[in-house]
Amino acid sequence: MMESGVPICNICGEQLGLANTNGEAFVACHECNYPVCKTCLDYEIKEGRNACLRCATPYDENEQESTNHAIVVSHPDTAQDVGVHARTVSTVSTVDSEYHDDTGNPIWKNRVESWKEKKNKKKKNQSKAVVQEAAEVPPEQQMEEKPQLADAAEPLSRIIPVPKSQITPYRIVIIVRLIVLCLFFHYRVTHPVESAYPLWFISVFCEIWFAFSWVLDQFPKWSPINRETYLDRLSARYEREGEPCQLAPVDFFVSTVDPMKEPPLITANTVLSILAVDYPVEKVSCYVSDDGGSMLTFESLAETSEFARKWVPFCKKFSIEPRAPEFYFTQKFDYLKDKVQPSFVKERRAMKREYEEYKVRLNALVAKAQKTPEDGWTMADGTPWPGNNPRDHPGMIQVFLGHSGVHDIEGNELPRLVYVSREKRPGYQHHKKAGAENALIRVSAVLTNAPYILNLDCDHYVNNSKAIREAMCFLMDPQVGRDVCYVQFPQRFDGIDKSDRYANRNIVFFDVNMKGLDGIQGPVYVGTGTVFNRQALYGYSPSNLPTIHKSSSSFSCCCRRKKPAKEKDLTEVYREAKREDLNSAIFNLREIENYDDHERSLLISQMSFEKTFGMSSVFIESTLMENGGVPDSANPSTLIREAIHVIGCGYEEKTAWGKEIGWIYGSVTEDILTGFKMQCRGWRSIYCMPLRPAFKGSAPINLSDRLHQVLRWALGSVEIFLSRHCPLWYGFGGGRLKWLQRLAYTNTIVYPFTSLPLIAYCILPAVCLLTGKFIIPTLSNVASILFLGLFLSIIVTSVLELRWSGIGIEDWWRNEQFWVIGGVSAHLFAVFQGFLKMLAGIDTNFTVTTKAADDGEFADLYLFKWTTVLIPPTTILIVNLVGVVAGFSDALNKGYEAWGPLFGKVFFSFWVILHLYPFLKGLMGRQNRTPTIVVLWSVLLASVFSLVWVKINPFVSKDDPSAMVQNCIDMDC
């Protein structure tokens, strides 16, 4: 809250001054009362900026009446404090936040030289000291300071559009392909195949769906962009020499569940890379969520905190990359490159020895945890481990580094490291990873309350120590970051075979689709490697959001209402707002301010902090602090007790957690849903791709685990499609989601349904070969040109897409292959399981994918675990192979004339087999040692389809069936 007195100018930081002799403060804008002093206002007008920085109202009329108006700033009524969020009661508008840093100081304070001169005139003593110091500085050094100040005033990032020479031909070909598709479907619909009408109908339906999916996929790619950041400008603006660092604090979230499937060494490397990140240590806090309540995870973090005292100073002293020791010491490169300190080799050798000893200690803990004692685990002080029952245990918090006073071996402060295990009780819905992330939001808000949050999976380590600075170039830029809810980094992976057999790198999605989404309202949230604005997670709307008309949102209006409305009308207003999905009025001051005192008091009576955020006064107070931070008067012991309270299993009951704030519940892909809700409120996201990948992780590279991972993603998309949050109908009342972004989100949830036409289309070639029918009639010259044009447009579109995106043809081809493999297996099961969950309430429990590979390079690639997901693609492969054999044998029997029609049928069958080839290699395993179940399934299916073909094909003539019947009668068959 702002104290009583004269307000401070939001540009130069000085007092506004008086407008007249009555003691009234100067007012620049009478529409929104944005505090700007007279000197800064004159400068703005001189520079040609004649409108208010906040509401864009012209200054001309306001200047004439400036002596007759004043701002009265006082504390709000205590009665109003109890039912509404700070953004609706604080005298400081939310729009002011983009002009201040995390300490409350104006960020534009030193931007313009004239403002600096004004400050120096008012402080004569400091001015003289500055002049004396400047006189002592050599002229050449003074010349160097001016460019530095200029850099600090420039933007921290810039958009680099794709060159017109690359994107324009791509757009032209897309339009041409749309025209060719229309002509193609006109021909297909008007030329049915009478002899195979069912096959023709199925093929046309599948082709129309594929065209629809392609169109949906093209909308986000219409305007792709790249971004470039300027880390030197970030440092010049927020890390000035001789001044306190003004970079915003960041809370890191690392989540883990089962230490047996997510080895402690993997999690420890992620934590160590966070603690050693290139960022001020007092601004970094790492929270590790142990959702399994495992003592092994707890003890491994204790060992990690001790090793961090040696590892962190080593990383920062020699600027090594990456700062995860396991991946640094196993790199195959010249580690002496760019190193100039002679002591580096000696210290590196000593550090590697320390790390090996640390690994031995961790391995001993893992070996000890293999067999649980009958009485459960006991801690070092003899007390039972509270998490012996992972489904029934109290909340646990342990601060390893930070306020405990532990420093590194050189005596420097270390970032904070906090172990968190939320309370688990039978009968409560814990919401898996989304619930764990929401618990971390509350714990971190009580203990550190950084304005920004970065969440990582336990197997995603920081590969680029400057990654946080990259994100801050967007979030802390006052022009760019005011409406940014998160900055998404691409996912990169280690330990994948060079050919990337199962498209684990997902290059097409991260380097093509996400770039395209960044060109509209922003990329989707992909679950890890994301820096969030904490205020966006709390359900706020962005501060610069335009006012919504009453017809769109019943809590907002475009002008001030002078007369109080009737109580009955306000009740109806509130009822309509409850039905409105976005709940924007609770979190947008600019809309609430349009009501008078009578209306606002009635609205406030319907809202309460507790109903939204839960029963914790400490946490609620933290939500009032837009720039983060913990009150100086806070007692650490009190904060720990409150942190335990906010991770209780019953804390979220009857609140908005998981519904409107935090990670959203209701889907196994909570990431897509969470990002979608934010962007529906008017936020936008940014995609950041630094040259050195920001984060790297491990991916399940064997066939079975990869398909189950894709199954989980697809099931989450189906759940969103069948829920109220479906992008097809959710959030239309607010009108804040761009149409292209809505179509992009629609594409992310409807793609699993492509599995139904895809599996039918993959079986059609085999059916045509076995029956002798075909889905396409005899082609005329015009039809041949049309088909040729369609194939050429497909090829040219792909080539141009590769050109502007910069990905390789091998990555593109792997993506196409796995699109078919996943479509006929995991996506198909996801559709059925999604409908089962909706209709019958049958939920699917997913197991955590193993993060550690076996000994040997890419050993995990050859593991094979037979599951029901593998049945459909195996069946399609065998059916097409049998169909090819049957087609060639039939052509040999009929002679030369049968080879022409056979070519088209075999072409489509080979198309299916070629796309499923990586799946076939996965079935073969290492050195073609095929699992027995695959052999039995192949023999069974091959026998069945061979008998079917023998029954219907050789003994029935397609040319003259009546003659065949007559011959059969004559022969007395």
Bridge partners (DSSP) listed for residue 806: none
Lookup: tokens for 102: 């995390």
For residues 875-897, one letter each, b for 16 or more C-beta atoms within 10 angstroms of the residue's C-beta and e for the rest, the string is bbbbbbbbbbebbeebbeeeeee
Alpha helices (runs of H) in 681-825, residue ranges in sequence order: 703-721, 739-750, 755-771, 781-805, 809-823
User: 458 pairs with which residues across the strands?
Assistant: none
Cα separations in angstroms, 702 against 214, 491, 810, 925:
29, 18, 19, 10
- Contact indicator for 521, 738 with CB cutoff of 8 Å: yes
Give the whole-angstrom CA distance, residue 317 versus residue 339. Answer: 11
* C-alpha torsion 456→753→677→650, nearest 10: -70
Question: Tokens standing for 179?
Answer: 């025209």
Cβ of 793: how many Cβ atoms within 10 Å? Answer: 19
SS3 track for 615-631: CCHHHHHHHCCCCCCCC
Which residue(s) pair with 686 in the sheet?
A: 487
CA dist list (Å): 786 to 181, 264, 619, 903, 917:
9, 59, 65, 19, 29
Question: Alpha-carbon distance 26 to 68, whole Å?
Answer: 9
Rounded Cα distance between 358 and 338, Å, is 28
Q: Tell which residue, 683, 702, 709, has the closest CA to residue 532.
A: 683
- 225-229 and 484-488 beta bridge pairing: unpaired
Catalytic residue flag (residue 477):
no
Q: Is 608 annotated as a binding residue?
A: no
Return d(Cα 52, Cα 41) in angstroms, integer.
9
The question of whether 291 is a catalytic residue gets the answer: yes
Give the residue among 253, 408, 405 at the shortest CA–CA distance from 315: 408
Given the residues 290, 291, 408, 518, the one annotated as active site: 291
Question: Residue 843, annotated ligand binder?
Answer: no
In angstroms, the CA 115 to CA 121 distance is: 10
- Output the six-digit token pair for 658: 């998981």
- C-alpha 735/C-alpha 473 separation (Å) is 29
Give the CA radius of gyration of the chain: 33
Dihedral angle computed from the Cα positions of residues 530, 535, 536 and 541, in that order, rounded to the nearest 10 degrees = -160
- Using CB atoms within 10 Å of the CB of residue 911, give its burial: 0 to 12 exposed, 13 to 18 middle, 19+ buried: middle
DSSP designation for 453: E
Three-state DSSP class for residue 161: strand
Q: Which of 239, 747, 770 is nearest to 473 (CA)?
A: 239
To the question of whether residue 596 is assigned a binding role by annotation, the answer is: no
- Contact indicator for 533, 450 with CB cutoff of 8 Å: no
Contacts 24+ apart (CB under 8 A), 650-653: 650/425, 650/428, 651/442, 651/614, 651/615, 651/616, 652/435, 652/438, 652/614
Query: Using an 8 Å Cβ cutoff, are 647 and 442 in contact?
Result: yes
255 is in an annotated binding site: yes
457 annotated as a binding-site residue = yes
Identified catalytic residue from 101, 671, 811, 860: 671
Element containing residue 355 per DSSP (H, E) = helix 343-368
In three-state secondary structure terms, 571 is helix
Residue 261: phi, psi to the nearest 5?
Answer: -95, -25
Instruction: State the amino acid at position 551 in one-letter form.
Output: S
Q: Which tokens in the block code for residue 174?
A: 């897309």
Q: Which long-range contacts (CB under 8 A, 24 or more apart) does 124-129 make?
A: none
Q: Which of 91, 67, 121 is nearest to 5 (CA)?
A: 91
Structure-block tokens of residue 536: 């966006």
Strands (E), 839-947: none
Binding residues for UDP-alpha-D-glucose: 255, 261-262, 291, 432
Binding residues: 255, 261-262, 291, 432-433, 457
- List active site positions: 291, 671
Binding residues for Mn(2+): 433, 457
